[in-house]
Amino acid sequence: MLKAKTEVFDYMKADGHIVLNGDDDKLRTVKEPQGIKPVYFGLDETSDIYADNIVSRGLKGMTCTIHMGETAFEA
């Protein structure tokens, strides 16, 4: 499964970035394939981009706080 999820790396520029699901334990093992920098998103603070304070608003959707490094915003 990991091989299938990382096949896209073969078509990327060596200095590119790829956004990966940081909540997927298999994808977390990907470091810098072929010089491509992974950027992880998820619900865990160890991800580069993560969400917390997630609140369901029923039919009105949901709200959360999104963190990117030292920056955070409400969404």
Q: Please tell me whether the overall predicted TM-score, pTM, comes out greater than 0.85 for this model.
A: no
List pLDDT tens digits, range 25-40: 888 887 777 778 889 9
H or E element in which residue 4 lies: helix 2-5
Across the range 68-74, mean pLDDT stands at 95
Count of beta carbons in the 10 Å neighbourhood of residue 63: 13
Domain that holds residue 61: 2-74
Q: Is the pLDDT of residue 5 over 90?
A: no
List pLDDT tens digits, range 59-69: 999 999 999 99
DSSP string, 5-73: HTGGGGGS-TT-EEEEETT-TTGGG---GGGPEEEEEESSTTSSEEEEEEEE-GGG-EEEEEEETTEEE
Tally the domains of the chain. Answer: 1
List pLDDT tens digits, range 49-59: 999 999 999 99
